[in-house]
Amino acid sequence: MGTVLHPVGPLPPRAYWLRRVLIVLVVVLVVALVWWLFAGMGSGSPAAGPTGSGTPTPTTTPTSPTSTPTPTHTTTSPTSTPTATTTSPSPTSTAGVAACPDSAIKVTALTDATSYPAGKDPRLTVEVGNIGTVSCKRDVGQVALELIVSSGSARTWSSDDCNPGGSHAVVTLRAGQTFSTTVVWSRTTSAPGCPSGKPKAAPGHYQLVARNLTLKSAPAPFQLL
């Protein structure tokens, strides 16, 4: 015990104490290293593997469909040129068919209303019907048709004033069949030769008469407001 506390040798005591401290430190380090290795093997847990992430669900942004506008049909209504709008008999197969006598034809004048407020243009129609018992042929072309508007005894407008003449259209009318043509009157008065600058028809009572060749219809009364 005395040699441990008081080392004996040719070297100074300090040298022996330094050696002993170094030996103790080495031993402590070895023991600590051994303990760390065994502690790590006994309590260590395997590293958790990376957690796979699910495939992201793509977000779809719906595109609002562009609605297709419904086409708007704008009809330009002529002032005096008739435009066929209803039954149009075939202009063919007239060979061997006799011409319609006036007694087998009825001409009718029609308006689409009995009164028209300001800004509303009348639709005027001429009908040519076969009231006979057999088929016959009749000219229903522009040259054979006329619409006449008058107020009392004063002639106000005619479809022939600005569009005189025109083409022929001979068609076969079966018994009971009717051909009709409609125009929109812009309320402008007219005269033969179609002079410009004619005024609008004034409010009042009027009547429409339709003509096919030499046959005329009964008057159809209406009112402009």
What is the model's pLDDT at position 37?
76
What is the model's pLDDT at position 161?
96
What is the model's pLDDT at position 56?
43
Does residue 66 or residue 205 have the better pLDDT? 205
| Average pLDDT over the chain, rounded to an integer | 79
Dist CA 94 CA 170 (whole Å): 8
Region 83-101: mean pLDDT is 68
If pLDDT is split at 50, 70 and 90, which confidence band does 27 have? confident
- State the CB neighbour count (10 A cutoff) for residue 121: 16
pLDDT tens string 153-208: 999 999 999 999 889 999 999 999 999 999 999 999 999 999 999 999 999 999 99
What is the model's pLDDT at position 10?
64
What is the model's pLDDT at position 125?
98
If pLDDT is split at 50, 70 and 90, which confidence band does 149 have? very high
Looking at residue 39, its amino acid is A
What is the model's pLDDT at position 28?
80
Which backbone phi and psi does 14 adopt, to 5 degrees? -60, -35
Region 13-26: mean pLDDT is 74
Say if residues 179 and 140 touch (Cβ distance below 8 Å): yes
Q: pTM (2 decimals)?
A: 0.61
DSSP per-residue letters across 48-62: PPPPPPPPPPPPP-P
If pLDDT is split at 50, 70 and 90, which confidence band does 93 have? low
Q: Determine the CATH number of domain 83-224.
A: 2.60.40.2360
Q: Where are the domains of the chain?
A: 2-40, 83-224
If pLDDT is split at 50, 70 and 90, which confidence band does 104 have? very high
Locus of tokens 């593997």: 49
